[in-house]
Amino acid sequence: MDSSSKERIVLAGCGVLAVAVIIALAAAGNPANMAICAACFIRDFAGGLMLHQAAPVQYLRPEIIGIIVGAFIMSIAGREYKARAGSSSVTRFALGFIMSIGALIFLGCPLRMVLRMAAGDLNAWVGLVGFAAGIAVGVLLLRKGFSLGKAEPSPRKTDGYILPAIMTVLFILSVTTSLFAVSAEGPGSMHAPVALSIVGGLAFGALSQRSRLCFAGGLRDVVVARDFAGFIVIGIIFVGVLAYNLITGHFNLGFAGQPIAHTEALWNILGLFIVGLAATMLGGCPLRQMVLAGTGSSDAAITFLGMLIGAAFAHNFAIAASPKGVGLAGQVMTVTCIVVLFAIAAINIKRGEE
C-alpha cells in the first residue's frame, strides 16, 4: 500500500471519529444543528468573558478551549509544532474580525453550514453558493499575487505555548469559580456536560490537526489543484451526520422552522461569501485558524483574537443575525465588510508585485 492510500485511510478514520464527537455532543445537549461550531461557540465564548452583553449567548464553551489545546497536544505528539509569527498581524486581526461578522450574518461557520445541510436546512445549501463564490474570488486573488507575507520561525519556541496555556487557565477558572457569564436561556444555556464538552473539543482539535481539516481549504484545493483529499473528512462528516439525523428523526427538509437560522437568502449568501473570501485570504477557515493557533502560529492566534472581538462587536451593536433575519445594521456591516475585503486584497496584491 502506497503512502497516499495510507493517508486516505487515516483521513477516513479521522472523519469517522469526528462524526462520533459531533453526534455525542449533539445528543448530550448542544444546540440543534450546532453540535460544534467555531463561529457560534466563539460568540458564546466572548459572551462568557462578558465582552458582549447578549444574555442568550453567553457561555465559555469548553469545546473552543479543547480544539486549541487538542491541536497543541497533537502537534507536540506528532512533532509538528512550530512556533512562527510575523506575517501582517494587524491585517490578519482585521480579517478574523470580518470573518466572524460574516459567519454571524449567516449564523454559523462552514462547519455548521455542513451540519445544517445534513439536517435538511435548505438555507445552508443557499449559503453554500456564497461560500463557494467567496473561495473562487479568493483563488483569483491568490493567482493575481495576493499575499499576507510569509511567517518566520519564532526565536522563542515557547511563544506558541501562550494561547494554549491561557485556554487551560480559563477552563480551570470556569469549573472552579463563577467568574464567567452563563446564559439562563437561549443557545448559551444549551450545552453538553462540561466533561464531555472538553473531551470532545480535545478530540476534535486533535483530529482536525492530524487531518488538516479546513472547509475553505478543501474547496480551494479542488479549484486550484483538482485535489479532493481535503473533502474526505468533510464528506464523511456530512454523510455520518445525515444518517444520524435520518435515524433519530432530526432531519427536517425545508427553509422555514430551522433551529437558529433565518430564511433571508441574500444575506445567507453574502455572509458566507465573506467567510469564504476571508478564509482564503487568511489560509484557513475559522476552525483551521484555531487549530493553527494551537500548533504554534502566532498569526493564527491573532486571527482568533480578531474573531473573538468581531463576535463581541456583532452582538454589542446588533449586527448579528437572528432567526427573524438580518437587521439594517447587519446589512450595512455586511456590505462594508465586502468593500474592506476587496480593499485589503488590492493593497496586498500591490505589495506582492513590488
Alpha carbons 143 and 68: distance in angstroms, whole number: 31
pLDDT tens per residue, the chain (354 residues)?
677 788 889 999 999 999 999 999 999 999 999 999 999 999 999 999 999 999 999 999 999 999 999 999 999 999 999 999 877 999 999 999 999 999 999 999 999 999 999 999 999 999 999 999 999 999 999 999 999 998 889 888 899 999 999 999 999 999 999 999 999 999 999 999 999 999 999 999 999 999 999 999 988 887 777 778 788 999 999 999 999 999 999 999 999 999 999 999 999 999 999 999 999 999 999 999 999 999 999 999 999 999 999 999 999 999 999 999 999 999 999 999 999 999 999 999 964 444
Which residue, 87, 103, 327, 319, is CA-closest to 216? 103
Are the beta carbons of 66 and 206 closer than 8 angstroms?
A: no
For cell 455586511, the residue is 334
How far apart, in whole angstroms, are the C-alpha atoms of residue 266 and residue 334?
11
Q: What is the pLDDT of residue 350?
A: 66
Q: Give the start-end residues of each E strand in the chain.
A: 84-85, 152-153
Judged by phi (left if over 0) then psi (alpha if -120 to 50, else beta), residue 283 lies in left
| Per-residue pLDDT, 353 | 44
Residue 351 CA: distances (Å) to CA of 218, 321, 344: 27, 35, 11
DSSP 245-302: HHHHT----BSTT-TT----HHHHHHHHHHHHHHHHHHTS-HHHHHHHHHTTBHHHHH
Which amino acid is located at 156 in the chain?
R
Q: 127 and 271 in contact (C-beta within 8 Å)?
A: yes
**What is the distance between the terminal CA atoms of the chain, rounded to a whole angstrom?**
46
Determine the pLDDT at residue 170.
Answer: 98
User: Dihedral through CA 161, CA 166, CA 169, CA 171, nearest 10?
Assistant: -110
Q: Does residue 41 contact residue 61 with C-beta atoms inside 8 Å?
A: yes
pTM of the model: 0.96
Beta bridge partners of 322: 325
Q: Grid coordinates in use for 171? A: 477552563
Sheet strands (E) in 79-132: 84-85
CB count, 10 Å around CB of 13? 15
Query: CA 281 to CA 220: how far, in whole Å?
Result: 11
* Spatial CB neighbours of 131, under 8 Å, sequence gap ≥ 6: 110, 113, 215, 216, 219, 272, 273, 275, 276
* Best CA proximity match to 191, nearest among 321, 57, 52, 2: 57
State the number of CA atoms in the 13 A half-sphere of 319 facing the CB. 24
Domain boundaries, the chain: 3-353
Which grid coordinates belong to 281? 485570504
Distance separating alpha carbons of residues 52 and 120, to the nearest angstrom: 31
What grid cell was written down for 168?
Answer: 487551560
The answer to whether 311 and 39 have CB atoms below 8 angstroms apart is yes
Is the sign of the CA dihedral 106, 319, 136, 19 positive or negative?
negative
